[in-house]
Every structure is written in structure tokens, then in C-alpha cells.
Amino acid sequence: MQVVWFKRDLRLEDHAPLRTALNGAPVLLLYVFEPELWRDSHYSERHWRFVAQSLLEMNERLEPLGHRVRIIEGSVVDALSDIAEQNTIRALYSYEETGLRQTYDRDLAVARWCQEKGIPWHEFQSNGVQRGRTHRRGWGKAWHQFMARATDNPVWAALPSAEPKLTFERVEEWGAERLRRLAEPVSVLEQMGGVAQAKAVLDSFFGGRVHNYHRSLSKPTLSRKHCSRISPYLAWGNVSVRQVYQRLLQEQTQHGKSRALSAFNSRLHWHCHFIQKFEAEDRIEFEPMNSGYEQFDDPWDELNEQAWIEGRTGLPYVDACLRCVQQTGYLHFRGRAMLVSVLCHLLGGRWQVAARHLAQWFLDFEPGIHYAQIQMQVGLTGINTLRIYNPVKQGQDHDPDGVFIRKWVPELRCLQGAIVHTPWLLGPIERASLELDYPEPCVDVEEAHRAARQTFWARRQNPLVLQEVKRVLYRHVEQDAFRTVSRSRR
């Protein structure tokens, strides 16, 4: 039999491994919930709920064909060993995964197992990410060629009429009821997984929401409506980048290349551009991309870090962004960048802590984009223009009436007008009369901002940092993309 192993590619269309495996031989479709990943601090139940919703939908679509994805809990090697004991596995099919060290090590174990058993493992290129590259020359051209190719849609007539018989012993197989329980939505504010949801999100985006896209990117409330909100569907593979890109080209053909559509186009490119960085150097999960920064030791403020984790920094716009993402799984780009910047530049928190907590909260957690963005926002690349955000000014600029702050920080609803951005300026008498239950800011923003700027620029001139810049540029930057990213800081 042929085994198709689904990972972060939870769809049945534009799926090269599935299309290739459907060649007449019996085929087993497999998804493995791995306890090691459940325990990993980048993940939270939010992610597995989305996965379960996606798998339920896939199985609903497969049922009329007499098939299903078998849902396993345990190690992938154990699951494959069970299958190999009862059947001859002709080949294993999957996408390449650009993941955390945890999944890289697991893939090495699977590769060793396949080699020992003499089973070929066919891995397919995932989206525009190119494995084995040591530089970026020609990367963009290859990206466009990949995106322009016809989608890899399986020919369902080639699916054998019955799934192979099999019982699992080393691992536990989940029934539909268990999957349904995990898939149960907990909040209407959280996006739900599945191909139909992804399609609905794209339809509503191109059907109208897109018009204000480029004007809403930095706005905490408008971005929720006018940005595409396609990121979790891309991260978990309910839709491929190629499907979205080809849909975008159709829209541009029909409606012209508006500024909004062009801005969206660039970001689809960035999606793969950032994952490519992680593919080329996954050590950035643990170390600065520019190793010149390893020599610096920053003082750690544990109390401030904890206040950030709890969304009680005393900085209203920061706390609103933190609580919003914790409760909904989504925050716009500028809000994400500001949270990292505030924690690491102003509050004395660690970038690894920002990375892990935000990963748990972001429904769209995608290791490659995430780590490359964190390093960029903290200033550990040595190549990007750095913005050290002033969170008070960010709130005043992007939430001038304080609507977003009052929604997510209910303690501040009693404050009228602009004071909601700076409640510490209230006098003690006003504070007492309002019975304000909200902390004082954990730093003096102006002072911390000045100190952070000085530190950053001094380090940027350090010889070891400068020495690394050339290598980082060669390894990670397409000249065109570099200019665009630096200019727009997004």
C-alpha cells in the first residue's frame, strides 16, 4: 500500500503527495497527533482544535468515497511500524516540513526508519519554499514558476474503492467521536478550521473586504475586517499559497491591479520568503540570526516579563493587544511587532519568551515566519531597519478614540477621552474617585525608549555584528525583496 502522511497540509485539493499516491494501489491516509508536539510550549489547545476541525471536514468529504484519514495518537515511527507489520508499504508520501527542531528530529527518525525498512519516502516541495538552498540568487524566479504551475488536484477515480484493513497496537487510533469533541468550538471569536471556511474567508475578502485592505493593515479593529484573515488556513494547509495566489491573479485580471491587491500579492510572496529563512537556518529558534549579537548579555526583568504575559503592563494599548490575541488567536501585523518590541526593548523581557507565548496565542503559528519576524523585530539580524515602538504613540495613532482599548481592557471603560491612553496622568484624587483597578505602567516609556535606541545603534556598529551582515545578506535576502521589506518595514 501507499501511505500519505498529512502534516500541515490539511486539504484534499492541490496536494502533490496525495495526487501522486493515487495510482491504483491501496492507499492509507494518515494523520498523527504527536504527544511531544502537544507538550511543546509553542502549541496550545487552540491549534489542535483547528486541526481537528480540518480533519473532521476532510473525513466528511472522503466518506462517500469509502475512505477516511486515520487519526492516530502516538509517535509517527510507531504508527508506521504497526502498518508495516500488517501490510507491505510500497512508499510513504508527504510534504516537506519547515518546522521546529522537534519536528526536524522526528523527520530524521522517520527517514532512518524508512531507510532501515527499504521504504522510499517521497517528500514534495511545500509552497514556494525550496529545500537545500544556501543563497537567494534566483529564488524569486523559482517562486513564480512554482506558483504558476497547475494545481496538483488528485484524480479521485484512482482512489481504490476500499481503505486497507488495519489495527493499531503501538499507538492509539481515535474514533470520530473523540475528534468531534476536540473540534468543538469554544468561542465565536476564534476562526474555525477547514477548507470550506478557508474558501468563505477568501470569497468575502475578494468580494468586498479587500477594498480597504492597505488602509487597515495597521489598525487594530479595521484589520480584523479588511485584512484577508487567511493566515491560519495557510499555516495549517487548508489552502495552499498557490491556490490563493492563482485566485489573486484571477481577481487582478478581472478587476485590475488595485493598490490593495498589489499589497496582498507582496505579502503572499513574503509568506514563503520568511519560511525560506527558517528552512536555511533553523538555529534561529534558539540563537540570533546574526551571531555577532551572541556576545551581548541583556539584563532580564522577570516581573515586567510576567506582567506582559498576563496583559497587565499598565500600558493600555499593549494590554489591549495582548488580551485580544489571547482571547481570539488573531492580531494584526503592527500589533504583533509592537508586542515583541515592547517586551524586548522597553520591558527587559527575553525574545525567546515572546516567541513561545505568541506562538501559543497565534492561531496561525507558522514557525518559519514567526521566528524570522521575531528576530527582525528584536533587531537580531543586523540587516533590517529597526523600529522601536512607542506603545503610547501607537495607540494614539491607530486607536485614537480608544475603542479597541476599552473593548479589551474593561477596567479602563470608565475613562472618557484621550486619557485612556495614559491613565497614569490622572491625579490621585481622580484615580481614587474612579476606583481604577489598573496597574501603573511598569516602565517609563520615554526613558526606556531612549535607552533602547542608544543600545541598539551602539550594537549595530559592533565589528562582529558588521562582519556577519554580509553572510546574512547572501544567505537570506533577495535583493528586490530586501529593498521592499526595508522600505515598508513590513
Ligand X SMILES: Cc1cc2nc3c(=O)[nH]c(=O)nc-3n(C[C@H](O)[C@H](O)[C@H](O)COP(=O)(O)OP(=O)(O)OC[C@H]3O[C@@H](n4cnc5c(N)ncnc54)[C@H](O)[C@@H]3O)c2cc1C
- Residues in contact with ligand X by CB under 6 A are 227-231, 234-235, 264, 267-268, 270-271, 274, 332-333, 336-337, 340, 362, 364-366, 369-370, 373-374, 377, 490
271 or 459: CB nearest ligand X? 271
Q: How far is the CB of 245 from ligand X (least distance, A)?
A: 10
28 or 239: CB nearest ligand X? 239
Q: Please give the grid coordinates belonging to residue 465.
A: 555584528
Q: How far is the CB of 231 from ligand X (least distance, A)?
A: 3
Q: How far is the CB of 233 from ligand X (least distance, A)?
A: 8
91 or 244: CB nearest ligand X? 244
166 close to 86: Cβ distance less than 8 angstroms: yes
From the number of C-beta atoms within 10 Å of its C-beta (0-12, 13-18, 19+), residue 322 rates as: buried
Secondary structure tally for the chain: helices H, strands E = 24, 6
Q: How far is the CB of 335 from ligand X (least distance, A)?
A: 8
3-state secondary structure 197-215: HHHHHHHHHHCCHHHHHHH
Q: How far is the CB of 386 from ligand X (least distance, A)?
A: 13
Q: Could you please report the per-residue DSSP string of 394-421?
A: HHHHHSTT-HHHHHH-GGGTT--GGGGG
35 close to 122: Cβ distance less than 8 angstroms: no
Q: How far is the CB of 331 from ligand X (least distance, A)?
A: 7
67 or 229: CB nearest ligand X? 229
53 or 360: CB nearest ligand X? 360
Q: How far is the CB of 259 from ligand X (least distance, A)?
A: 13
Q: How far is the CB of 111 from ligand X (least distance, A)?
A: 26
Q: Could you please report the per-residue DSSP string of 202-268?
A: HHHHHTTGGGGHHHHTT-TTHHHHHS---HHHHHTTSS-HHHHHHHHHHHHHHH---HHHHHHHHHH
Q: Please give the grid coordinates belonging to residue 77.
A: 515511527
Q: How far is the CB of 274 from ligand X (least distance, A)?
A: 4
213 close to 264: Cβ distance less than 8 angstroms: yes
For residue 332, the tally of other CB atoms under 10 A from its CB is 23
Crossing angle (nearest 10°) for helices 259-280 and 367-378: 90
From the number of C-beta atoms within 10 Å of its C-beta (0-12, 13-18, 19+), residue 122 rates as: middle
472 or 481: CB nearest ligand X? 481
> Residue 116: CB partners within 8 Å, gap ≥ 6?
none
Q: How far is the CB of 213 from ligand X (least distance, A)?
A: 7
Q: How far is the CB of 131 from ligand X (least distance, A)?
A: 19
Q: What's the distance, CA 321 to chain centroid?
A: 17
Per-residue exposure over 67-98, b if at least 16 CB sit within 10 Å of its own CB, e if not: bbbbbbbbbbbbbbbbbbeeeebebbbbbbbb
70 or 271: CB nearest ligand X? 271
The H-assigned helical ranges of 10-119 are 16-21, 35-39, 45-62, 76-86, 101-117
Q: Nearest-5° angle of CA 43, CA 110, CA 75?
A: 50
240 or 304: CB nearest ligand X? 240
Q: Please give the grid coordinates belonging to residue 113.
A: 526508519
Q: Please give the grid coordinates belonging to residue 218.
A: 495597521
369 or 445: CB nearest ligand X? 369
22 or 340: CB nearest ligand X? 340
Q: Residue 225: what residue type?
A: K
370 or 398: CB nearest ligand X? 370
